[in-house]
Structure 1
Amino acid sequence: MAFARRCLTALALGALALTTLTALTALADPRPFESTDLGRIRRNDQGQLEVVKTPPDGASGASSGPADAAASQPAAPAQLGGKKAPAAAAGGRTIVVGPQEPVRSIPEAARMARDGDTIEIRSGDYRQQAVVWTQARLTIRGIGKRPRLIADGDHAEGKALWVVRNANMLIENVEFRGARVPDGNGAGIRFEKGHLKVVRCAFFDNEMGILTSNFADAELEVEDSEFGEAPKHAGALHHLLYAGQIARLSVRGSRFQQGFRGHLIKSRARESSILYNLLVDGPDGRASYELEFPNGGLAWVIGNIIGQSDNTDNRELVSYGAEGPHWPDNALYLAHNTLVDPLLVGRFLHVWSDKMPPGTEVWAVNNLLVGHAVFAPLGPGRHDGNLVVDRSLLVDGAGLAFRLPNNSPLRGTATPPGFARQQSLAPSAEFKLPAGTRPLPAGIPLTAGALQ
C-alpha cells in the first residue's frame, strides 16, 4: 500500500509540473492563443502574468455591445427598418493594451487580434499608433479616461491614423488627434467598407475627422462623439465628418465645432439620419456649410441645434442638392431644429431645386429660426410651424443658450409634426453637453425648435 501511495504521489507531482510548464509556455508565447480557454492577459499585484477568464454572456462583468447601447436610446426615424447595428465581439478574447500591460502598443494588438476579439486600451497618450484593421469582426474600446491617439506624423497607407478595411466593428471611447497625410485628407478614421459604429469618441485637429469610401453598401453610425479644431493650414477642405456615397450615415447626440473652410458634416450617403446634435461652429470657427447633402438622397434632420459663426466662409447653414442627384430616392425632412444665423444676408436653408429631380420633397416643420437670414424651402411638401425669433429671446439652459424661456408664449404651441414615410417627425430626445442625448417625456406639448 505504501508503495502504491508513493507511485500515485509521484504521478500527481509530474502532472502538476507538466501543467505548470504548459501554462508558462503559453504565457511566454506572444502569438494569439490556440486554446479554446479564452481570457485576457494581465499582470497581478506580484508582477506575474496571469490569464483571467472572460465571463460568459450575461454574467457579471460582461460588457454590453452596441446593440445594447442602441436599445437604451429612443427609436430614430432612419434607424427603423435599418440593418442591425454591429454587435460587440462575442466569444473572443480580450486583449488589454497599456504601458504596464504585456501588450504595450495598439499595432501589436492589431497583429494579435482575430475575428471576434475585444481590444481594451488603457488611459494615456499613444503616439504614432497608426493601424490598418483587417479583421472582419472586432470591438475596440478605451477604458477609463479616454485614451488619446496622437499622430505625430504617423499614418496608415497615407490615409489616416486608423483604416477600417472591411469590418463589422465598434470603436468606443477613443480620441484621435493630429492626422496629416501628403494629399491633405488625413483622417482620424478612414472607413472603407462594412458597418462601423463609433461611440463616445473624439476627433480633434485632423484634416478630416472621419472620412469614408464610396462603397454603396457601407454603413457608418456615430453616437455621443465630439469633432472640432480643424487645422488651418493650406490644402484640401477639412471637413469634420465626410461620408461618401455609402448606404447610410447616422449621426446622433454628437457635437461639431471649430471648423475651417470645410463643412461640419458633409454626406453623400443614400440615407442620412442627423438627429439631436449640436452643430454650432462657435466664435473661433470658420466652417463653410454646417450641414451639406450635395447629392441629395433621403435626409432626416430632426432635433438639431445648427449655428453659424460670424467668420463663416459661407452664408448658408444647410445645403441640399448642390451637385445634383446620385440616388433614385431624394427627399429632405427638416423638423424641430433650431437654426441660428447671425448674418443679415445669410440663408438658413438652400435647396438647389434647379439641380434636383422635379417633385423632390422638402418638408420644413416646426423649426425655430434665430436671426434675420432667409428661410425659403423650395419643392413640394410641408412648410409650416416654423417660427422666427431674435437671439435675445433665448436663454441658457444646461449650458445651451438656445432655449426659449419657460414663460415664453411660444412654448408648447407647436402642432405635432406628423409622419413622413410612416416615420414620426416628432423629437424623442434632445442634445445634452458635452455630447449625448436625454430622452423627452412621452406626450409633452411640443415647442418649435430642438430644445423642448
Structure 2
Amino acid sequence: MLRRTHRGLLVLSALLAPAAAMAAELRVGPNEPIQRIAEAARLAQDGDTVSIQPGTYRGDVALWTQNRLTIRGLGDGPVLEAAGQSIEGKAIWVIRGGDIQINNITFRGARVPHLNGAGIRFERGRLSITNSRFIDNENGILTSNDPSARLFVENCQFDNAPRHPGALHHLLYVGQIDRFTLRGSRLQGGYNAHLVKTRARSNHIEYNWIVDGPDGEASYELEFPEGGLATVIGNTIGQSANTSNTTLISYGAEGYRSDENRLALSHNTLVNERPTGGIFLRIWPGKTETTPVVIARNNLLVGLGAFALGNPGEFIDNPSTILPAASSEHAIDIRLAPDTLLRGHISAAPTWRDIPLQPTHEFRHPAGTVALEPPQRWAPGAWQTPRPR
C-alpha cells in the first residue's frame, strides 16, 4: 500500500511539473528540421522558444495561439516578406495567445483586400515586441479592442507607409486595450494617416523618435482620439513640411471614452517643419464631467506654431526656438548647444499626480535608449546631451 502511494505521488509530481521544465527550442531555417515558420507555429507548445535563422521568408504567414512563447530572430534577423499572402486575411502574423515575446524580426509588405493588412495583428493577451522592424505595411502593428490586452513595443523601427490614395495606413494603430507602452522606437515615413494612433486606456510614450522625415506626409504624429491616461516623456516628435495635417499631437478628437482623462507632456522636443506654422498640441473640448487634465512642462518647441493657445491645463517652461539647419545624420539636429541660454533656464520637473516628469533616458539612433545622468543644468526638450560644436 505504501509503495503504491509512493508511486502515485511520483506520477502526480511529474504531471504537475512546471511547463518550463518541458520547454523546447524549435529552430526554423532552410537547413533546419523545420523550414517554415507556419509549421513552427503549429508545433510550438506553451513555454517553447522558436528561433528563426536569418534570411528572407516569402509568404510564410502564421497564427500564434500559445499561452507562453518566445519567438526570436537569430543573427541579423529574418525578413518576413508578405509577398501577397496573409493569415486570415489580416496580417503576416496574427497573435491570439497569452504571453508572447517577439525579438529581432522584420515584417515587410503586408497587404490585404480591406487595405488594413498588418505586420502583426495583435488580438488577445500580452505581447512584447523588441528590436524589430515594420516596413511598408498597411499597418505596422494593429490591435483588437480587447480591454484586457497589453502591448509593449521597445527599440523597434516603423517606416514607409504605402501610398494608396484614399486609404489610411497608420504605422502603429492601438485599439481599446488596457495598456500600451512605446519606448526607444523610431517611426517615420507616414502618408495621410498617423505615425502613432492609440485608443488604449493607459499609454506610456517614452524616449522615442517620432519624426516623419523629409519624405513623410503623415497626418498627426501622435494621436489619442479617445483621451485616456497618457504620459509622454522624452520624445522627439516632428512633422514634415509636406504634412497633410497642421497638428503634431491630438488628444480627444473623437470624444472621451474613459472616466479619467489625463495627459502629461514633459521634456519632449516638438518640431514643426511647415514654413507657414502649425499646431504643436490640440486638446479637443469634452463634456464638463470629462474635461481632460493636462500638464505640459519643460518641452522645447522648434519652428512656428501654437502650443498653449486654446488648450486647458498647466503650461510651464515650454520655450520656443527656430528650426535648426539640416543634418545629414538625422535630417534635423535638435540638440541644443552647450552654451545656449535655454540651458539652466528651467527647473527640474517634479512628480505630478504620482507621475515622475523628469526623464531618466534619451533616445539613441537608430533605435534604443541610453540612461541619462541628471545634469547640473536642465535643458528643455528631450535632449540633455549637447550638440557637438
TM over 0.5: yes
Q: 2:173 aligns with which of 242, 250, 253?
A: 242
Q: Secondary structure at the match of 1:176?
A: strand
Structure 2 residue 216 is matched with structure 1 residue 277: no
- Determine the C-alpha separation between the residues in 1 that align with 2:327 and 2:161: 29
> 1:363: which partner in 2?
295
Q: Taking every aligned residue pair, what percent have the same amino acid on both sides? A: 51
Q: Shift of the alpha carbon at 1:342?
A: 2.0
> 2:193: which partner in 1?
262
* AA in 2 matched with 1:309: S
Q: 2:138 aligns with which of 207, 214, 225?
A: 207
Q: Shift of the alpha carbon at 1:414?
A: 2.0
Q: For this pair of structures, how many residues does the alignment match?
A: 367
- Determine the C-alpha separation between the residues in 2 that align with 1:269 and 1:370: 28
Task: State whether residues 93 and 116 of structure 1, in contact with CA within 8 Å, keep that contact through their aligned partners in structure 2.
Answer: yes
Task: State whether residues 95 and 120 of structure 1, in contact with CA within 8 Å, keep that contact through their aligned partners in structure 2.
Answer: yes
Using the TM superposition, name which of 251-260 and 227-236 deviates more.
Answer: 227-236
- Determine the C-alpha separation between the residues in 1 that align with 2:309 and 2:46: 47
Using the TM superposition, name which of 156-165 and 439-448 deviates more.
Answer: 439-448
Task: State whether residues 232 and 265 of structure 2, in contact with CA within 8 Å, keep that contact through their aligned partners in structure 1.
Answer: yes
> 2:11: which partner in 1?
none
Task: State whether residues 337 and 450 of structure 1, in contact with CA within 8 Å, keep that contact through their aligned partners in structure 2.
Answer: yes
* AA in 2 matched with 1:304: N
- Determine the C-alpha separation between the residues in 2 that align with 1:169 and 1:384: 40
Q: 2:350 aligns with which of 418, 421, 437?
A: 418
- Determine the C-alpha separation between the residues in 2 that align with 1:95 and 1:117: 7
Cα deviation 1:392-447 (Å, max 9, x = unaligned): 38989988611001111211332111112212100000101110001101464321
Normalising by the residue count of structure 2, what TM-score does the alignment of the two structures yield?
A: 0.90
Q: How does 1:8-47 map to 2 (within 5 A)?
A: none
- Determine the C-alpha separation between the residues in 1 that align with 2:344 and 2:260: 34
Max Rg structure: 1
Q: Secondary structure at the match of 1:165?
A: strand
> 2:362: which partner in 1?
430
- Determine the C-alpha separation between the residues in 2 that align with 1:170 and 1:407: 44
- Determine the C-alpha separation between the residues in 1 that align with 2:359 and 2:57: 39
> 1:127: which partner in 2?
58
Structure 2 residue 320 is matched with structure 1 residue 388: yes
> 1:401: which partner in 2?
333
Q: Shift of the alpha carbon at 1:372?
A: 1.1
Q: 2:109 aligns with which of 162, 178, 194?
A: 178
Normalising by the residue count of structure 1, what TM-score does the alignment of the two structures yield?
A: 0.78
> 2:35: which partner in 1?
104
* AA in 2 matched with 1:351: I
* AA in 2 matched with 1:214: N
- Determine the C-alpha separation between the residues in 1 that align with 2:203 and 2:211: 19
Q: Shift of the alpha carbon at 1:183?
A: 0.4
* AA in 2 matched with 1:362: V
Q: Secondary structure at the match of 2:324?
A: helix
Q: Shift of the alpha carbon at 1:141?
A: 0.4
Q: Shift of the alpha carbon at 1:159?
A: 0.5
Q: Shift of the alpha carbon at 1:359?
A: 3.8
- Determine the C-alpha separation between the residues in 2 that align with 1:447 and 1:261: 33
- Determine the C-alpha separation between the residues in 1 that align with 2:68 and 2:87: 20
> 2:372: which partner in 1?
440
> 2:99: which partner in 1?
168
Task: State whether residues 324 and 332 of structure 2, in contact with CA within 8 Å, keep that contact through their aligned partners in structure 1.
Answer: no
